[in-house]
Amino acid sequence: QVTLKESGPGILQPSQTLSLTCSFSGFSLSTSGMGVGWIRQPSGKGLEWLAHIWWDDNKRYNPALKSRLTISKDTSSNQVFLKIASVDTADTATYFCAHMGDGNYFPYWGQGTLVTVSA
Amino acid sequence: DIVLTQSPASLAVSLGQRATISCRASQSVSTSSYSYVHWYQQKPGQPPKLLIKYASNLESGVPARFSGSGSGTDFTLNIHPVEEEDTATYYCQHSWEIPRTFGGGTKLEIK
């Protein structure tokens, strides 16, 4: 059974760095073909893909935010991390992590963590 | 970036009838073998749930009243017959290139 859970700071101030953690079970990022992605959703709005990382440490970023994003993984602890630098109020959203299996879609999602950027 | 345009933005369908949602891509997202479009259902306060992968392949555990079709730039999600529990927002997503993008969503209400 695949499960994912996001954790984050809840609230942070503009210009700070947002650090998010995705803790997962039911699969391993040391297994060929496995990946984890991050997607965000401002309240009442649509979905925006941010980044994903594969079992072989291959990383892909949304070019619109690439300069601010860093994705990484700790295979031994079954965690994936996302950092977003220099946040502002536009980064206020629910952040989801999602499993990517052998296809480039998202069959399993965490419940999301709400991040609010406010002075 | 590939833009996915969903229509309508919202629709109300009577219980037991058919709901049809369109997703149009700004460029082709299909090869001769696969169409790289996937459909999700999202209910308030919940994460999206994968319904259809590669345009027409029903995800395991998803009721057969959901179906997907299309190729190239035009894709459709059909729900028939609709049930009360289908009240949700539906999104398409492509995996043709980076960045992955989602459609703007279609909100379905059951009358």
Contacts of B40 in chain A (CB under 8 A): 106
Sign of the four-CA dihedral B11, B15, B17, B20:
positive
In this complex, is the C-beta atom of B99 within 8 Å of any C-beta atom belonging to chain A?
A: yes
For position A103, what pLDDT does the model report?
A: 75
CB contact under 8 A, B100 and A46: no
For position B3, what pLDDT does the model report?
A: 98
For position A102, what pLDDT does the model report?
A: 73
Tens-digit pLDDT profile for chain B (111 aa)?
A: 999 999 999 999 999 999 999 999 999 999 999 999 999 999 999 999 999 999 999 999 999 999 999 999 999 999 999 999 999 999 999 999 999 999 999 999 999
CB contact under 8 A, B91 and A103: no
Exposed, middle or buried, A5 (CB in 10 Å: 0-12/13-18/19+)? Answer: middle
d(CA A77, CA A66): 26
CB contact under 8 A, A47 and B102: yes
B12-38 burial: b if 16+ Cβ within 10 Å, else e: ebeeeeebebbbbbeeebbeeebbbbb
For position B15, what pLDDT does the model report?
A: 97
In this predicted model, what pLDDT tens digit does every residue of A62-84 receive, in sequence order? Answer: 999 989 999 999 999 999 999 99
For position A104, what pLDDT does the model report?
A: 85
d(CA A103, CA B92): 15
For position A48, what pLDDT does the model report?
A: 98
Residue B86 dihedral angles phi and psi, to the nearest 5°: -80, -5
| Residue carrying structure tokens 């306060």 | B45
* A68 touches A86 (CB < 8 A): yes
Q: Which residues does B61 contact at the CB level (< 8 Å), separation at least 6?
A: none
- Residue in A2, A8, A1, A16 with CA at minimum distance from that of residue A112: A8
For position A15, what pLDDT does the model report?
A: 97
Positions in chain A short of pLDDT 70: none
For position B111, what pLDDT does the model report?
A: 94
HSE on the CB side for A67, CA within 13 Å? 3
Cβ neighbours, 10 Å, residue B110: 18
